[in-house]
Amino acid sequence: MIEAKDLCKHYGSIIAVDHLSFTVGPGEVLGFLGPNGAGKSTTMKILTGFLAPTSGSATVYGHDIVDDSLAARRRIGYLPEGAPSYGEMTVDQFLTFVARARGIEAGHIIATVGSAIERLNLGTVVHQSIETLSKGFRRRVGLAQAILHDPDVLILDEPTDGLDPNQKYEVRRLIGAMASDKIIVISTHILEEVAAVCNRAMIISEGRLLADDTPSGLLARSRYHNAVTLVVENPHRAASVLSELPEVAKAELHGRELTVFPTGDGLFEAVSRAVSTHGWDVRELRLEAGRLNEVFREITGGAAAS
Amino acid sequence: MNAVVNIIRRELSAYFATPVAYVFIVIFLVLTGVFTFYLGGFYERGIADLDPFFRFHPWLYLFLVPAISMRLWAEERRSGTIELLLTLPITLWQAVVGKFLAAWLFLGIALALTFPVWLTVNYLGEPDNGAILAAYCGSWLMAGGFLAIGSCMSALSRNQVVAFILAVVVCFAFLLSGLPMITDLFSGWAPQALLDAIAGLSFLSHFADISRGVIDLRDLLYFALVTGFWLMANMVVLELKKAD
């Protein structure tokens, strides 16, 4: 259980985190979403005990992150932003160092490091120095270091940044596999990631919590939620016909794509009926779940920028 | 304790994983040789002791110790590993002491590798080996004082060059505080007690006795206190500046 109460962090006159409160429990994969500089990383640095909050408090399984910092840190695995590691060490040496620092008993270190290496497919680079590795491998070394001691809480700052699509898939699979009994907090600015791995999303901007919802809940806030998009031979005529329907609130044409927005239920059925009645030659017809980037822009106030 | 040992082990292996350790040791040995045999007039004096060897240590350390200490925290900050290190379940004190001890042990290794000078003087005459051992210990202690200053300066900046220059300047002030160059700044307006206190801070005057093999408890205490003070300052600086 992580409980944050009224967390604030000021850097001089800059307010990085502004009265942030939330609670996360086991089984939750919480995604911090927000523009760059929103306070996501700062919040994570506070939760992991790296920075002390200016005011407010947070506990990790009952351990205060300031007063009982070591006990709190023992429960946490942390991947800092950019996955820093000691470049001159080999993967093996680095993970052994972290395992020792994590207080893993001498007899179990080899097995623990071995299992982390296996889980992140680092077997081929064990004896290479980290600075010679590709960005993807370095990120995986950072993840291996975070999960080494099988922590109850995983805090991952942009875990898939810089990975190729296959590696992203692997990391998301790994997070998904660990999710059932752990608290996982990830930060990202990749919106698809939230839908792919999180079961809860918090949108943060300028240090304030603007939305706290499930990914599907966020999608439902989109004006595209349950809208229908179609590509037809003559979109202008189709637009004028469809906008007459009682189920249609509005029709918009973007290039070849015609999107009609619902007034209530039954829009998709109504559009299908219209298509068959008029015998249009339809190339594409789809029901929109909602568009996260649009919700994100709207909530974080960047709508004008689009 | 295990945490400190773990950090020492990591740091020491990092020195030897890069050319830093070898370059440093070679330069240190060459310079001690040059100072002892040319500037110190080791042969010309005709005395079987290592005074010409130890006499130049403060000046060697002035530039060489900051070269070792500059990376201690500046590099951790620049590469972001400080965030990794300080979110492990170890205290700030353990991290500071662990990194300091590793660098100090490394300087000890470099110092120990000057043993051919000791062999030479024993081959040529019959020196007081007890005094030489005492002087070695004193030199190592003084290196610790320089190193603690350098470690603190390294925490001030993420730029290693800045850390190096700051460390040299502060070490220089400590080195000379007993000489007129520094005391003249204060004489005339500051009370005599303050003048004495400043003069008493000088590395040179405290090292002078030790280098002749005279171990005075006050000199040992002095270097221990200087080291402790700067390591505490190091912690405070880290606590204040780790966010930026």
A203 within a domain of the structure (yes/no)? yes
Parallel, antiparallel or unpaired: strands A257-262 and A248-254: antiparallel
For residues B215 and B221, what is the distance between their CA atoms, to the nearest angstrom?
11
Q: Is A250 left (phi over 0), alpha (psi -120 to 50) or beta?
A: beta
pLDDT band at A303 (very low <50, low <70, confident <90, very high): very low
Q: Which residue range(s) make up the domain with A203?
A: 2-220
Question: Within a domain: residue A293?
Answer: no
Total structural domains within chain A:
2
Q: Do A80 and B242 touch (CB under 8 A)?
A: no
Distance CA A143, CA A231 (A): 43
- Domain annotation covers residue A128: yes
Which range has the worst mean pLDDT, A79-83, B148-152, B153-157, B215-219? B215-219
CB burial of residue B78 (10 Å; 0-12, 13-18, 19+): middle
Same domain, A209 and A242: no
ipTM computed for the complex: 0.88
Place of tokens 């292996």: B13
For the segment B120-125, the average pLDDT, to the nearest whole number, is 88
For residues A268 and A213, membership in a common domain is answered with: no
Distance from CA of B87 to the nearest CA of A (A): 6
Q: pLDDT category, A302, cuts 50, 70, 90?
A: low
The proportion of chain A whose per-residue pLDDT surpasses 70, expressed as a percent, equals 98
Q: Are residues A153 and A46 in the same domain?
A: yes
| DSSP 8-state assignment for residue A263 | S
Domain range for B174: 2-241
Residues A121, A249, single domain; the answer is no
Query: Is residue A180 located within the same domain as residue A37?
Result: yes
Rounded Cα–Cα distance for residues A152 and A157 (Å): 17
Total domains in the fold of chain B: 1
A131 in contact with B at a CB cutoff of 8 Å? no
Is it the case that residue B60 has pLDDT exceeding 70? yes
Helix (H) or strand (E) holding A88: none
| Pairing mode of beta strands A200-205, A29-33 | parallel
| CATH number, residue A235 | 3.30.70.100
Nearest to A50 among B10, B13, B87 (CB): B87
Mean pLDDT of all residues in B119-144: 89
B13–A93 CB contact, under 8 Å: yes
pTM of the model: 0.88
Higher-pLDDT residue of B204, A155: A155
Q: Which of B84, B86, B235, B241 would you mutate first to test chain A, the one with the most A CBs within 10 A?
A: B84
**Whether the predicted pLDDT of A305 surpasses 60:** no
Chain A contact present for B17, CB below 8 A: yes
Taking contacts as CB-CB distances below 8 angstroms, the residues of chain A near B2 are 100, 103
**b/e map of A70-102 (b: 16 or more CB within 10 Å)?**
eebbbbbbbbbbbbbbbbbbbbbbbbbbbbbbb
Distance, CA of A27 to CA of B239 (rounded, Å): 34
Chain B hits for A97, CB-CB cut-off 8 Å, are 6, 9-10
Q: How many CA atoms lie within 13 A of B97 on its CB side?
A: 14
Same domain (yes/no): A159, A258: no
Residues A58 and A188 reside in one and the same domain: yes
On the question of pLDDT at B185 being above 60, the answer is yes
Q: Is the pLDDT of residue A304 over 50?
A: no
What is the arithmetic mean of pLDDT over B48-75?
A: 89
Is the CB of A101 less than 8 angstroms away from the CB of B14?
no
Residue A108 carries which DSSP code? G
State how far the alpha carbon of B199 is from the alpha carbons of A301, B62, B169, in Å.
Answer: 62, 18, 17
Same structural domain, A69 and A113: yes
Q: Hey, are the CB atoms on A97 and B10 less than 8 Å from each other?
A: yes
pLDDT > 90: percent of chain B: 51
Contact B81 A84 (CB under 8 A): yes
Within-domain flag for A302: no
**How many Cβ pairs closer than 8 A exist between chain A and B?**
69
Domain with A47 in it: what CATH number?
3.40.50.300
pLDDT-derived band at A133 (thresholds 50, 70, 90) equals very high
Distance CA A202, CA A40 (A): 10
Does a structural domain hold residue A297?
A: no
**Based on the domain organization, do A179 and A275 belong to the same domain?**
no
User: Given pLDDT bands bounded at 50, 70 and 90, which one contains residue B66?
Assistant: very high
Q: Do B80 and A80 touch (CB under 8 A)?
A: yes
